[in-house]
Amino acid sequence: MTSKLTYWGTIGVAAASVVAANPAYAAGTTAGASITNTATVDYQVGGVSQGQQSASNSFTVDRKINLLVEEVGTVTTNVVPGQTNAVTTFQLTNSSNEVLDFALAATQITGGTAAHGGTDSFNVNNVRIYRDNTSSGTVGSWDAGDTLVTFIDELAVDTPIRLFVVADIPTGLANNAVAGVQLRATAREGGTAGSQGAAITETTGANTAAKDTVFADTAGVNDGSRDASHSAADDYTVQTATLAVTKTSRVISDPFNNTTNPKLIPGAVVEYCIAVANSGSAAATTVLINDPVPGQLTFVGSSILLNGTVTSGTCNADGATGGSYVAPNVSGTIATVAAGDTRTLVFRATVN
C-alpha cells in the first residue's frame, strides 16, 4: 500500500510539472492554434548519407464551446416565510478552449417537480445572481462582499466559479412549500473586458480551414444539447412552525366536596390548560399566549405555570411559575415550542 501511495503521489507531481511547462494546454489546445506535424527521413545510398527529406502538414484547432452549470450540494435550501436573501448555490465551468463571456439567467419553475423531489408551489421574490468574491469575505458562501452580476466577464477555461441565486421568501407560506429555481449560462464572445460579448454562432455548412466554432455542450434542465447553454436546478423548501392551540379545563375542588368528585358550584376552583402543539418542521420561538378570563370567574393569583407538557393528550399541569395577569387577561410567553412538541400554559380560577 505504501508503494502504491508513493506511486500516485509521484504521478501527481509529474502531472503538475507538465501543466506548469505547458500552461496553454491545461484546458485543451487554444482555439485558433495551428498544429504542424513534420516527419524527416535520413538514409544512405551506397554507404553515403544523403540529404535529409522532410514532409509537413498543418491544421487549425477549432473552437469548442462547452460549459457546465451545476448545483453545489445535493439538498434543498431550507427557508422560513418572510426570509430575505435566501441563497441557492451553483457552479459554472468554462470547458471551452477559449476565454469567453457567459450570459446568466435565473428563472423559476411553475408547478412540476423541483430539483429535490418536491412539487413547486410558490414563487420567490427579488431573484438576483451573485458571483462569489474569492479574495475577501466568506469564500464559497454568499456574503455582502459578493458581486451582483448579469453576466460573467472573460471567464478563464477550466476554472470553476461559484454563483449564488439569492431571493426573498414571501410571508404566509405553509410548511414544506417548495419553490424551484434554475440558473442558465449561455456562452458569449470573449475578448472585450468589461462588457458582455456578442452571441456566438456555430459554424454551419462547409468547413473552413480557419477557426470554426463547434457547440459541444450537453443538455441542461432548461436548454438543449449543443446550444452553447447549460443549466441546473435547485429549490427552496419552507420550514416553518405550524401551531394548533387547544384549551381544556377541569374542576380541582369545590367548597363542599373539596377535591373528591368536585362539582362546578360557586367557589369551585377550575384549572385551565392551554396547549400549543407544533406540527411543523421548525421550532416556534417566543410563543405569546393570551387568554381573557371570563367574567364569571376570578383568577387565582400566581397560579400560572408556563412551559408545561402534555402526555397522550392529557395536560400534565406542570411547568414553571411565571406569566402575568392584567385583568381580565392571563398571559405568558413560552420560549420555544420545538417541531413536533407541545407546551402548555396552566392557570386556575374560582367560580363566582
Partner 1 sequence: MKIKAFFIALATLAPTQAIASNQVALDNSVFVERVTTDASGKERVLLEEPKIVVPGDRLVFVLNYRNAGQQPADKFVITNPMPSAVRFAGAGDTAQLVSVDGGKAWGTLDTLTIMQPDGTRRPAQPSDVTHIRWAFQKPIPAGGTGKLMFRGVVK
Using CB under 8 A as the criterion, which residues of the chain lie in contact with partner 1 when the complex forms? 7, 10-11, 13-14, 17-18, 22, 25, 27-29, 33, 35-64, 97, 203, 207-209, 212, 214, 216
Q: CB of residue 21 vs partner 1: minimum separation in angstroms?
A: 10
Q: How far apart are CA 229 and CA 186, in angstroms?
A: 4
Q: CB of residue 43 vs partner 1: minimum separation in angstroms?
A: 4
> Residue 10: what are its φ and ψ, rounded to 5°?
-70, -35
Give the sign of the dihedral formed by CA 149, CA 150, CA 154, CA 157: positive
Beta carbons within 8 Å of 90's beta carbon, 6+ residues apart: 69, 70, 71, 72, 162, 163, 164, 165, 183, 232, 234
In the bound state with partner 1, the residue whose beta carbon lies nearer, of 59 and 256, is: 59
Q: CB of residue 140 vs partner 1: minimum separation in angstroms?
A: 29
Q: CB of residue 203 vs partner 1: minimum separation in angstroms?
A: 8
Q: CB of residue 202 vs partner 1: minimum separation in angstroms?
A: 10
Q: How far apart are CA 161 and CA 95, in angstroms?
A: 12
Q: How many CA atoms lie within 13 A of 198 on its CB side?
A: 3
In the bound state with partner 1, the residue whose beta carbon lies nearer, of 30 and 350, is: 30
In the bound state with partner 1, the residue whose beta carbon lies nearer, of 43 and 144, is: 43
Mapped onto helix, strand or coil, the DSSP state of residue 180 is: strand
Closest CA to 185 of 75, 116, 93, 87: 93
Cα 161 vs. chain centroid, distance in angstroms? 16
In the bound state with partner 1, the residue whose beta carbon lies nearer, of 46 and 172, is: 46
Cα 268 vs. chain centroid, distance in angstroms? 57
In the bound state with partner 1, the residue whose beta carbon lies nearer, of 37 and 321, is: 37
Q: CB of residue 95 vs partner 1: minimum separation in angstroms?
A: 9
Contact 170, 122 (CB under 8 A): yes
Q: How far apart are CA 322 and CA 318, in angstroms?
A: 12
Closest CA to 274 of 333, 190, 336: 333
In the bound state with partner 1, the residue whose beta carbon lies nearer, of 25 and 256, is: 25
In the bound state with partner 1, the residue whose beta carbon lies nearer, of 217 and 271, is: 217
Q: CB of residue 196 vs partner 1: minimum separation in angstroms?
A: 24
